[in-house]
Structure formats: structure tokens, C-alpha cells
Structure 1
């Protein structure tokens, strides 16, 4: 019998790899009118574990500043273990760079909200992020850098 050559894709495990919540100015932060400035730093990545398993992660840092003081700082790494077998090479990068982060993001979003609320602050629902567009931008930047590289040789 021939082996199954069909592409196979599955999320095998979903987990928080790292989480941190700080509220350096509590409880005084709770006595001020709540008009925060929210700063979001986000990136994603992937690593191959073996021939059929990849870890994909999204790392986010959310900083809320209120009345020129840090109200809270949340750092979270949401990760997933994905099984990928017989996926064509040209599809791997978009899957790891866009599709998998799109699967992980709702879990990251819920975890951030939960930490913020448990820290005593109003709910914080991050806006949806288009990882497909981010992946396309990153791929275009990499292509532009590669196009410039041969000209830089001496």
C-alpha cells in the first residue's frame, strides 16, 4: 500500500509560553480618570521541531499609560504546536507566517484581556490583526532587500 501523500495540517497543542503582568503604579492608578494611551508591539515567528512539527508563536507587549504614568504592562507569548506533513515548500512560509498566527491570535487576545481584568483594569480587547497583510509586507521587504544586496558587493 502506498503512503498517504495528502497534505496534512493540524493544531496539536495551544499554550502560553510566557506571560507577565505588571501594574507598577497600583493602587494609585485606580484613583485617576481612566483615559489610557495603549501601545502595542507585536511579532510572530516559527521554528521547525522535526520533519512534521512546527512551533509558531505570537509575542505581544501591551503598555497602557494613563496620566503620564505606566498603568500596566503585559507581555505574552502565545504559541501553538502544529503538525504539517506533505505541505508544498512554497506554501510553508505563508502558513507559518500568516495562517498559523491567525489561528493563535484569538487565544492571545483572550489571554491579554483576562490578565488586564484580573489586574483590576477595564477590559482590553485588542483589535483584530491581519497577519496575511503583515506577512505580505514582510515578504515584500525581504524581496526588496535581496534585490539590493547584489549591488552592494565590491
Structure 2
């Protein structure tokens, strides 16, 4: 596992830090699969967390955690579910920790990403575009 990309932006600081109100939080997740060499794949999970107070951005955190997986001697029809469900499930806890830690170190209450049903996400993607990017 490794942190592939991380950014945190606070475009309206410091003024927005003294404003009162309940912020809105929007979280988007994406899974990417890239072959490295035969039988070895990089699976990356990206979380984009946008927190706003009214129409002004409090902070934007984007983190991409990746893992390298060696997968051999598996039937072709089983590869896509392994890469789209099992591998992201292994990477995701590391991503959750990175996001919570980064947001906390920026001076905000931590954002705890919820558990994700990667099987449901994979199935929705299969119905939407027919294949996982492998």
C-alpha cells in the first residue's frame, strides 16, 4: 500500500474559520485499475471530500491510496471482480485513515469515511458502462 496523491485546500481561510454554521460534506469515491506487468496490477481508490459552509468551500481534500497486487492463475471472468471488489476493499481502510488524519492535522474535526460496499459499487459500474477499467 502507498499514498499515491494527496492534496488539501482551504481557499477561504482564515475568514471562514470564524464563521458559524453547519457545514455540508460531499464525498466521492473512484476506483482505478492499471496493469503494471503481466499478473501485477495497481488498484487505486480516490476519495474527494468537499466541505462547504453555505456556498463557500471550507476545505477540499483529495487522497489517492494504491496497492500493488499480484494475481495469477485466475480465470479471466474472475479477474474483474477481484480487481473491482476485493482489491479496493483492501486499499480502502488505508485511504480512510489518510483522509481522517489529513483533515485533523489541518485543524478540522476528522472526516470519517463510511464503510463502502465495493460489490454494489462494482455492480453499478458494470450496469452503467459494461466493464471495470482494467
1:58 to 2:65 alignment: no
Q: Which residue of 2 aligns with 1:119?
A: 106
Matches within 5 A, 1:114-153: 114-143=101-130
Quote how far apart the aligned CAs of 1:140 are: 2.1
- List alignment gaps of at least 5 residues for structure 1: 1-13, 144-154
TM-score by length of 2: 0.91
Runs of 4+ in 1 over 3 A off after TM superposition: none
**Residue aligned with 1:120, SS:** coil
In structure 1, how many angstroms separate the alpha carbons of the residues matched to 2:103 and 2:112?
10
Shift of 1:108: 0.5
- How far residue 137 of structure 1 moved from its aligned partner, in angstroms, is 1.2
Segments of 5+ residues of structure 2 without an aligned counterpart are none
TM-score (norm 1): 0.79
| Residue 70 (structure 1) aligned with residue 57 (structure 2) | yes
Q: In structure 1, which of residues 87, 91, 99 is the aligned counterpart of residue 78 of structure 2?
A: 91
The whole-number CA distance in structure 1 between the counterparts of 2:43 and 2:16 is 35
* 2:36 equivalent in structure 1: 49
1:138 & 1:66 partners in 2: Cα distance? Answer: 31
Q: 1:38 and 1:71 mapped to 2: Cα distance?
A: 10
Task: Return the index of the structure with the highest Cα Rg.
Answer: 1
Give the length in aligned residue pairs: 130
**Distance apart, 1:34 and its partner CA:** 4.7
CA distance in 1, matches of 2:65, 2:108: 21
Quote the RMSD (CA, aligned, Å). Answer: 1.3
